[in-house]
Amino acid sequence: MKKILVLNGPNLNMLGIREPGVYGTATLESIERNLRRAAGEHGAELEFFQSNHEGDLIDRIHQAYGVFDGMIMNPGALTHYSYAIRDAVSAVAVPLVEVHISNIHKREEFRHKSVIAPAALGQIAGFGAYGYELGLMALLKHLSAKGDE
């Protein structure tokens, strides 16, 4: 059974309340429930962590080393400037899929660049809450292909 860590950054605890025109009406709890269901269908085990504090996210990424097979992360606004999170992802070398509810490339200019993307397997953006499930499928496909080598 693959163990996957799902990380959510600042303000994602406010999903369902925060700018529903941009982020939809799904709550973080409903996203977690749907993702847990999808993971169960594919024999994966998930652990969830959300923080509004960069250092807490970095600590949790460090703790993933040797424990988790992969990570899914929506870094929120930290996407655009947290070299510390990017370095943490690189340091642990646990495969990561970056997920964004909105299409960051269609929004304000400052949101177009992800400093974390170069350390990730890939990025999924613009598919709403379903992007988390797409990220899970992509990560599990990568991990199973890696196991076939």
Looking at the annotation, which residues are catalytic? 23, 100
Within a 10 A sphere around the Cβ of 108, how many other Cβ atoms? 8
Find the DSSP H helices in the chain: 20-23, 28-41, 54-63, 83-92, 130-147
Q: Residue with structure tokens 């040797």?
A: 66
What CA–CA distance (Å, rounded) separates 52 from 18?
Answer: 14
Q: How far is CA 7 from CA 13, 72, 96, 107, in A?
A: 11, 6, 10, 22
CB neighbours of 10 closer than 8 A, spacing ≥ 6?
51, 52, 53, 76, 77, 78
Residue 64 tokens read as 């993933």
